[in-house]
Structure 1
Amino acid sequence: MHNCHWQPLALPTSWSTRAGWLLIQGTLRTHQPRGETRLRWQCRRGIWYEQILPITRRGTLQEMVFLPMGANQLFLLASSEGADCQFEVIRLARISSQESLWRRLRRVWPFYQRLTAHKRRRLGLSWHLWFTDLQQAYDLVGKIRDDKPLHAYEHWLANFDLIQHGERRAIERLLARWNTLPRVCLHLVNGNDNAARRRTLASIAALCYPTDLVTVVEHGATPSQTNRPTGEWQWTIPMGAELAPAALVWLAHQLRQTPNAQWIYGDHDLLDDKGKRNAPNFKPDWNETLLQSQNYIGWCGMWREDGTSHIPQNEGECHGWWLQLSSQHETSHIAHIPALLMHLPAAAQQPDDYENLARQLSAFPAGVVVEAAPHGICRWRWPLPATLPRVSVIIPTRNGLTHLKACIESVAQQTRYPNIEMVVMDNQSDDVATLAYLEQISSDYGVRVIRWDKPFNYSAINNAAVREATGELVCLLNNDTEVLNPLWLDEMVSHVLRPGVGVVGARLYYADGRIQHAGDAVGPGGCADHFHSGLAADKPGYQRRAVCAQELSAVTAACLLTHRQLFLDLGGLDEVNLPVAFNDVDYCLRVGEAGKRIVWTPFAELYHHESVSRGKDATPHQLARAQRELRYMKKRWAQRLKHDPAYNPNLSYDRPDFSLSHAPNVVLPWMS
């Protein structure tokens, strides 16, 4: 729900006699996602008009509006989600037609240069639009400039999902150019509803794909038709579901990109009782740990026929089937199409049933126990070895006794994992009480206190500590964290010992109980930013991803577990280029580059009071250093920042909040 109010603005009196361009400049301040910002005015006949005003991520408004003669009673609406916002008007003035022309050109040109040719086409921002309709080009750029989260799904569909008549001809030409196309068998299940059956068959008939390459098998119609794969690729479709017209075009395109793929899945959305599309499920790229937590793929998966005749009959069977396929194929044989391939009736979605899943899987990995968890997910408890590896918990600090004490006491008294050593890296503490406490914990808890008498360099401090550590595993832990769950370290160790896992991160909370960290997005937000930050602890987040263990691109070093030898082999944190910020993200990306996985688990829980002892960057020197680190990250990981495998390119890259993108980074095969 939006909190909003109309703010009256004083128009120059000249509008009573002639029309013209109005320049409005201002700033919007809010701590919550904002709603639309609108300008409203009344004309002589008493008719009201409105125009949406785009506002940048920094809260800056600088827009031009053409007002007719006689415009009066000007109002501005600023709104936000769940909290009041403040809007300050800095300038409100008439400008000439020449200045308006110059300002619009100056707005459009940089955006035109920045966008790829594909994004220009999808937005309709052609080069000749500057000359034929500059105002339309200006309005299109305003949609990208506007930082408002895009929640109106029907508007997104109209702009980015509907196939126009001209596009169908382009698809036909594209398919004609391709030498070979895959044959597909569509298996229709749960066919008790004739109306639902007709809807599904109608969507199949409307596919932009050669009909001789598509076979439809209705399971349960006659015994001879049951479990009879008749195509190279198999896809189970519940009656009532509708396929996107280009669904099989996407399959053929994906196979040209990844010809060795054995299993391909796509995105889907839901249909309400009236057939209206809603609740898009924009999925990450292949994510085994997330699939173990929930059937995030749903019905929208296709597999290459390998001699088996197994056809899942419900979503629960699909979950088990996907897990079996994942155990049979290499990661390189699994592909994700970031496009809406299926529209699914809400009734076809079923809650995950961990007991049914356990019955379906012939064998879980040795020692794994699967159980139910909140929000209908499956929790996989990974086993710990009989001889537990030693974990060195590394805690850098400088003074900050209040938080340091809470951190040390919680680790020492609440952590059940028995084989740990605590290493405190004291970076020039000079507070008498803090120094006394450091002496005390050495005797009380056997904490190793190592003096680091050099200027603050987070990377160097941790690197030195890891070299001194005696554990096989090292846990980087901020001094402003506090243990919530006694089994936090058991949970993290159980994941990091899984084959191929290099790093594990935890679920961190603000002091008020809201989520502070649920893993890091890399790319969305500009460089790196936390997922689900500010979400209430009892909320599941986007597609339940705030409560599911999953693989991500990075996690914060406020609580990060890794293998000591891996850390040393990769050179640890970058103390030259990233002495303070982004060093954890950079390390995780290098771990991923080395072929290891980064896992985040919601079942390791701690408070994080965030940068209490060091504080925020404020001085010119600190701000300059922060900019250097940001520039380094953008240069070092330029390609990686363009796409986060854990974050769908149809979602906003302005911020990792899972809102819809104003300019999806998805290239349509027939428009490339």
Structure 2
Amino acid sequence: MTLSPVEFEHVLQLNHAFLAPSARSYSRLGRGDKSQNLRRGLCPQWGMGTRQSSGARAFPTRKAHRFLFHDKTEPRGPKSMAMIHAAWRLIRPMLPAFLDPGRKVRLLLETAQRLASAESPDPRLSVRSADPTPLISLVAPVYNTKTAYLDELLASFRSQEIDNRTTGLFELVLSDDGSTSLPTREWLDRHAGEPRLKVVRNSENGGIAAATNSGIRAAEGEWVAFIDHDDALAPFALERIAVTLLERPEIELLYTDEVITNSRLDPEGYFLKPAWDEILLSGVNYINHLSVYRRSRLGALGNLRPDFDGSQDYDLLLRYTRDLDRSKILHLPYPAYLWRRDGTSYSAQFMAKATRRARQALQERYHAAGRTMNVQPALDPNLHRVDWAGARHEWPLVSVVIPSRNAKALIAQVIDGLRNKTDYPRLEIIIVDNGSDDPEVLDLYKAWTRDLPQFHAEIRTEPFNFSRAVNRGCERARGDVFLLLNNDVEMQHPDWLKEMVSCLDYPNTGIVGAKLLYPNRTIQHVGVIAGLGGLAGHWFIGENRDLAGPMGRLQVRQSMSVVTGACFLMSRQCWQDVGPFDEERFAIAYNDVDYCLRALEKGFRVIWTPFAELVHHESASRGSDETPANIERFKREQANLRDRHRTDILDDRAFNPWWTKGQSRPEIRVLPALPAAR
């Protein structure tokens, strides 16, 4: 179950409500010596336990069952708590996933760590370890941190040293921000001077950014990674990162996937991320943990800015990546980071201030000469929407191309939506009709031709071919922007088209898609994943319209590989460079998939936005596709898609390799090998 920040909190509350007190009591008794496991470099059995605490002993399954379901009077002493522990172990495997959100996360961690441990040693690690300076400096600002958290952080760091091949490659820099807690200061005193551990003392409490900057100045590594003082690394994390950095010396930034845990580091969710996406980053800091920066570039930028505490990492990412080519930014799909979510972090306590500073950083990032850029709340008020529309002084002519035949109610509705429910100043409407013979529809065409100066209806009796209709409409269009629009789309909000056109202001954008709902207001389109089902498919189809999606991605703009042709905005430049739709190989199906993938090959960006929401009465005017001839044609177009784009093996950059490809709502899958950086 993939959890956005909002979903995470909700599921965590559900989990505690259903499982209290037994799950929490179990976890206290059964965690075992996690630090010891980490030091060995083993996969911790998060929440499963390897030892019991003192005073507890194992109970037979039958007795645990009797205690759980029949005995209501036994006092809650050490013996009964151990029985709860045993009972919990009995029922946990039978619980539905939403009652045990950590089950799938444990599968992810265990699989990734098993595969990492089976990897052959990379000889480049041994060569690099001979260098007296570390490859990676891990910097953690510390302030009044619980000593148990520091123990777990240090143990997770020590677990990264595997045999001799990684010794000396890494260092941990703890930068104390003027802690007043005596246990914290004593812990730092006790560990200062240990191998590959530096303790930096700051006499005053200067904030997260200032403390981190002190740590960066003390760091010696070629690369710098940041870790919070209450978090931990997963086993093999730094080894996988180091191998990637040595394989790809040209890169400037690397980031990994992460696991969300509770206060005890028991996993409860995960952030499985897409490849680099500037558009998504403009709405949410999806990169987050663990990100690895080249230290020389950090220094040139002045490191972190103290005025942005709470969103200092977001501000840094926006500045660091501003002029970087996509090829210099890598996503390593390895769950390297354990993010403890206990509500005590700076951002959790001061969300309003952190959000305000994040939007200030976005305003600076997207400021352009002569344009004052505002940043508004996204669908989630803590996420962001760069307001391109508010900064515009003029709008381009949009040529709306609508393939249609008969279907009076539908065509009347869509034209009324464009005329009366769309707040856009410059529209040209082109209906490409493949043979309407309904007199009422023909009368409508005559009336619109008379009343609308920018209306054209071209009627040619021929079999329906979506690609041919689109090509005919675009060839006639006079606008700088084309909108391909199905005749069964219904407008909901007047600003939808301005939103889509404004997305073209992101650099290199050629195509923009909208959020489409079924008439019952469930999700029909929030982007298409190339390779889903071996071909291409909508993700989260049929889900609740308000679904946040992984990391809140369905509540902000993002890059996709494909968007649906039902509401498909395209720049004239994209049309000219990519060429026409393929009328022969993709007459009806997959023409939008083919076109988007061809546009990506030409260097254009495809964007999906949730801020343009419409209702799609899908295929309402076409009738059934279940005839023998249509089924045979559909199979041919499927084969054409696989042949041209190898969708059976395609790695969609918007999709994480750890997700299943056989269903609309992705789940964790077990991979035979670790996915490559991308």
* TM-score of the superposed pair, with normalisation by structure 2: 0.73
Choose from 242, 248, 267 the match for 2:257. Answer: 267
In 2: Cα distance, 1:164 partner to 1:662 partner: 10
The answer to whether the Cα contact below 8 Å between 1:151 and 1:660 also exists between their aligned partners in 2 is no
**Residue 212 (structure 1) aligns with:** 168
**Residue-by-residue CA offset, 1:416-473 (whole Å, 9 max, x unaligned):** 1111111111111122222222222222334211112221110001101100011111
Q: Could you say what secondary structure the match of 1:328 adopts?
A: coil
Choose from 271, 275, 286 the match for 1:281. Answer: 271
In 1: Cα distance, 2:258 partner to 2:270 partner: 6
Choose from 462, 472, 482 the match for 2:490. Answer: 482
1:214 is matched by which residue type in structure 2? F
The answer to whether the Cα contact below 8 Å between 2:534 and 2:648 also exists between their aligned partners in 1 is no
**Residue-by-residue CA offset, 1:484-532 (whole Å, 9 max, x unaligned):** 1211111111111332101001011111111110011000222111122
**Residue-by-residue CA offset, 1:314-366 (whole Å, 9 max, x unaligned):** 66211111111110311111100011010010134645844212444645332
**Residue-by-residue CA offset, 1:357-409 (whole Å, 9 max, x unaligned):** 24446453323311222322111111464332110011111111112211110
1:365 is matched by which residue type in structure 2? H
Question: Where is the strand percentage greater, Structure 1 or Structure 2?
Answer: 1
Deviates more, 1:597-606 or 1:437-446: 437-446
Q: Could you say what secondary structure the match of 2:334 adopts?
A: strand
Q: Could you say what secondary structure the match of 1:286 adopts?
A: coil
The answer to whether the Cα contact below 8 Å between 1:473 and 1:562 also exists between their aligned partners in 2 is yes
Choose from 325, 330, 334 the match for 1:330. Answer: 325
Say if 1:651 and 1:577 are closer, same or farther in 2 by CA, change over 3 A. Answer: same
Choose from 311, 317, 336 the match for 1:316. Answer: 311
The answer to whether the Cα contact below 8 Å between 2:514 and 2:611 also exists between their aligned partners in 1 is yes
In 2: Cα distance, 1:80 partner to 1:470 partner: 56
Deviates more, 1:190-199 or 1:238-247: 190-199
Say if 1:405 and 1:565 are closer, same or farther in 2 by CA, change over 3 A. Answer: same
The answer to whether the Cα contact below 8 Å between 1:294 and 1:378 also exists between their aligned partners in 2 is yes
Say if 1:158 and 1:491 are closer, same or farther in 2 by CA, change over 3 A. Answer: closer
Say if 1:454 and 1:641 are closer, same or farther in 2 by CA, change over 3 A. Answer: farther
Say if 1:360 and 1:465 are closer, same or farther in 2 by CA, change over 3 A. Answer: closer
The answer to whether the Cα contact below 8 Å between 2:253 and 2:293 also exists between their aligned partners in 1 is yes
In 1: Cα distance, 2:323 partner to 2:357 partner: 20
Please tell me whether residue 188 in structure 1 is matched to residue 181 in structure 2: no
Identity %: 31
**Residue 202 (structure 2) aligns with:** 223
The answer to whether the Cα contact below 8 Å between 2:223 and 2:292 also exists between their aligned partners in 1 is yes
Say if 1:497 and 1:654 are closer, same or farther in 2 by CA, change over 3 A. Answer: same
1:189 is matched by which residue type in structure 2? P
In 2: Cα distance, 1:440 partner to 1:238 partner: 66
Deviates more, 1:504-513 or 1:305-314: 305-314
**Residue 338 (structure 2) aligns with:** 343
Please tell me whether residue 580 in structure 1 is matched to residue 588 in structure 2: yes
In 2: Cα distance, 1:226 partner to 1:521 partner: 41
Say if 1:180 and 1:624 are closer, same or farther in 2 by CA, change over 3 A. Answer: farther
Unaligned runs of 5+ in 1: 2-78, 83-149
In 2: Cα distance, 1:356 partner to 1:394 partner: 42
The CA RMSD over aligned residues, in Å, is 3.0
Deviates more, 1:632-641 or 1:171-180: 171-180
Aligned 1:336-485 pairs, distance under 5 A: 336-347=331-342, 348=345, 350=348, 353-360=354-361, 362-366=364-368, 367=371, 368-375=373-380, 376-383=382-389, 385-446=392-453, 447-485=455-493
Deviates more, 1:437-446 or 1:328-337: 437-446
The answer to whether the Cα contact below 8 Å between 2:397 and 2:427 also exists between their aligned partners in 1 is yes
Shift of 1:547: 1.1
Say if 1:583 and 1:411 are closer, same or farther in 2 by CA, change over 3 A. Answer: same
The answer to whether the Cα contact below 8 Å between 2:533 and 2:663 also exists between their aligned partners in 1 is yes
In 1: Cα distance, 2:225 partner to 2:116 partner: 27
2:386 is matched by which residue type in structure 1? W
**Residue 110 (structure 1) aligns with:** none
Choose from 121, 126, 144 the match for 1:176. Answer: 126
In 1: Cα distance, 2:596 partner to 2:666 partner: 22
Question: Where is the helix percentage greater, Structure 1 or Structure 2?
Answer: 2
Say if 1:258 and 1:607 are closer, same or farther in 2 by CA, change over 3 A. Answer: same
Say if 1:80 and 1:412 are closer, same or farther in 2 by CA, change over 3 A. Answer: farther
Say if 1:158 and 1:227 are closer, same or farther in 2 by CA, change over 3 A. Answer: closer
Shift of 1:296: 0.6
Choose from 82, 101, 104 the match for 1:153. Answer: 104
In 2: Cα distance, 1:363 partner to 1:548 partner: 17
In 2: Cα distance, 1:451 partner to 1:654 partner: 41
Q: Could you say what secondary structure the match of 1:293 adopts?
A: coil
Higher relative contact order (CA 8 A, sep 6+): 2
Say if 1:190 and 1:406 are closer, same or farther in 2 by CA, change over 3 A. Answer: farther
Shift of 1:535: 1.8
The answer to whether the Cα contact below 8 Å between 2:658 and 2:668 also exists between their aligned partners in 1 is yes
In 2: Cα distance, 1:236 partner to 1:346 partner: 17
In 2: Cα distance, 1:289 partner to 1:301 partner: 18
1:436 is matched by which residue type in structure 2? D
The answer to whether the Cα contact below 8 Å between 1:650 and 1:665 also exists between their aligned partners in 2 is no
**Residue 541 (structure 1) aligns with:** 549
2:408 is matched by which residue type in structure 1? L
Q: Could you say what secondary structure the match of 1:253 adopts?
A: helix
**Residue 563 (structure 1) aligns with:** 571
**Residue 603 (structure 1) aligns with:** 611
**Residue-by-residue CA offset, 1:215-246 (whole Å, 9 max, x unaligned):** 22212251395441321101111012111221
Say if 1:461 and 1:223 are closer, same or farther in 2 by CA, change over 3 A. Answer: same
Please tell me whether residue 258 in structure 1 is matched to residue 252 in structure 2: no
The answer to whether the Cα contact below 8 Å between 1:521 and 1:528 also exists between their aligned partners in 2 is yes
In 1: Cα distance, 2:440 partner to 2:412 partner: 11
In 1: Cα distance, 2:102 partner to 2:467 partner: 39
In 1: Cα distance, 2:655 partner to 2:115 partner: 27
1:629 is matched by which residue type in structure 2? E
Unaligned runs of 5+ in 2: 2-94, 178-199, 204-213
2:367 is matched by which residue type in structure 1? P
In 2: Cα distance, 1:452 partner to 1:495 partner: 34
